[in-house]
Amino acid sequence: MNMTLSFTTPLRGALAGFTLVLMTSGAGLAASSEDLVQRWIDGLNAAGEVEMTVGDIDSGLFSSAVTLSDVTVKNIEGGATTNAEEVVLDGVEETEDGRTVAESIAVTNFAAKDDGTDVTIESITVTNAELRVPAEDDEDDSPFGRPSGFAFTGLTVVDDGKPAVPVASGQFELSDLVDDKPTRMKLKVDGIAVPSAIIEDEAQRAMIEAMGYTTLNLSIDGEFHYSGEGVGEGVIDRLVLSLADGAELSISGSVGGLPRAALEDPGASAELLMQTATLNGLSIKLTDNSLINRIIEQQAKDTGVSADDLKTQLKVMVPAMMTPLEAPEFQAQVSTAVSAFLDDPQNFTIAAAPAAPTLIAQIVGIVAEAPGQIPAMLGLTVTANE
């Protein structure tokens, strides 16, 4: 027994001493995760733009995660006040160039109030963020820099006492870095529930409700990328806007002649981009899932005719509207597609496939001066149910 005591007592003492050294020798070690987070909070408060208060800061001895409890951020000059029950910053470290970064930031029970608008979010996750204190003249005023990803669940927006608009979930991702700048973006938002009661225009609200929608359930799914050096191409790989029990709108295409420097410059004007931008291709497809017949039946009721009579009128009206184009082949193509779609609304597609990239500025000019040239110039096609 004495031998055991003589062995364990020095061991315990050594471990205690080792732990004490770790805790007290900050001058010789890199700043701890908690120190880095506290420095960031102090910097934000010292900058004078916001006041950030934290109920408690906690971190494990051998963990890079720092947990902030009861967080409140107030804008000094008025505006939004935000609160969070808990914020967990993981993978916090200082880079060789002196920046403080975090692999992830997880926020629980976020709430914000600003000028009559209340926003609550059950959970938020930010990935690959920089903990920074924006300078007064800094164009990027985000305290998290440019994260590579952002996701949320359980978003609810209440604007000035109107019915709440809940959103089930959302994701935003930036990737494929070139010169530390992302060239690919993904966006997905599901479960956007817009109540018809929120629509202020009485006529529009009545029309939507007459089609059987008391809630518009929407979703968005998109992916975009930029390719090329100097002057390149912006591509819509996929953009899908969906209305549950209604329709789906799918868009894809590309625009060339885009100077990367102008795209990255927040101050660049659309006019500057238009000088070199070209249309390389575009496809817009509407896939119906009851929306078209809902619209026709509602409009037929309002005008006092049958749905079939309204369809017949539209089959004549739409092609007739294109007579000024003086493009009979294209007019016939549109007439065929419209008739087929009205008889059996499955899908309707408009596509542009120019033989060569065409300046958008040139297209705008031709539309104003000689619109009949547009179908051939852009290789326009209109099809239905294919």
321 lies in some domain: yes
With beta carbons less than 8 A apart as the criterion, state whether 240 and 222 touch.
yes
Cα dihedral across residues 347, 348, 350, 351: positive or negative = positive
Can you give the pLDDT at residue 267?
A: 65
The residue among 131, 157, 183 that closes a domain is: 157
pLDDT at 62 (0 to 100):
66
Structure tokens at 305: 């005719």
Per-residue pLDDT of the chain (386 residues; tens, 9 = 90+): 333 333 333 333 433 333 333 333 334 455 789 999 999 999 999 998 889 999 999 986 666 799 999 999 998 887 788 999 999 999 999 999 999 999 999 999 999 988 889 999 999 999 999 999 987 766 667 889 889 999 999 999 999 888 999 999 999 999 988 877 889 999 999 999 999 999 999 999 999 999 999 999 999 999 999 998 888 999 999 999 999 999 999 999 999 998 887 777 756 667 777 788 999 999 999 999 999 999 999 999 999 999 999 999 999 998 888 888 888 899 999 999 999 999 999 999 999 999 999 999 999 999 888 888 999 999 999 999 99
Residue 358 lies in a domain: yes
Q: What is the pLDDT of residue 61?
A: 67
Q: What is the pLDDT of residue 373?
A: 93
Domain contains 144 = yes
Tokens 């903990």: give the residue: 131
Burial 17-45 (b: 16+ CB within 10 A, else e): eeeeeeeeeeeeeeebbbbbbbebbebbb
In angstroms, rounded to a whole number, what is the distance separating the alpha carbons of residues 33 and 240?
41
* Residue 161: φ, ψ to 5°: 80, 5
Residue 312 domain-assigned (yes or no): yes
pLDDT for position 15: 35
**What's the pLDDT at 2?**
36
Rounded to an integer, what distance in angstroms lies between the CA atom of residue 276 and that of residue 26? 56
Q: Does 304 reside within a domain?
A: yes
Residue 254 covered by a domain: no
Contact 235, 244 (CB under 8 A): no
Q: Which range marks the domain in which residue 380 is found?
A: 295-384
Compute the distance between CA of residue 62 and CA of residue 20 in angstroms, rounded to an integer.
14
- What pLDDT sits at residue 66? 94
Which of 58, 66, 60, 67 has the alpha carbon at shortest distance from 86? Answer: 67
What tokens were used for 106? Answer: 């997880």
The CA radius of gyration of the chain, in Å to the nearest whole number, is 29
Residue 141 lies in a domain: yes
Number of domains in the chain: 2
pLDDT of residue 151: 98
Q: Return d(Cα 30, Cα 254) in angstroms, integer.
A: 48
- Among the listed residues 85, 159, 150, the one whose alpha carbon sits nearest the alpha carbon of residue 119: 159
Q: What per-residue confidence (pLDDT) applies to 11?
A: 34
Q: Mind spelling out the 3-state secondary structure of 349-377? A: EEEECCCCCEEHHHHHHHHHHCHHHHHHH
Quote the pLDDT of residue 281. 97
Task: Tell me, yes or no, whether 123 lies in a domain.
Answer: yes
Give CA–CA dist 200/234, Å, rounded.
36
* Final residue of a structural domain among 122, 157, 192: 157
Q: Which of 95, 124, 157 is the last residue of a domain?
A: 157
Q: What does the pLDDT read at residue 7?
A: 30
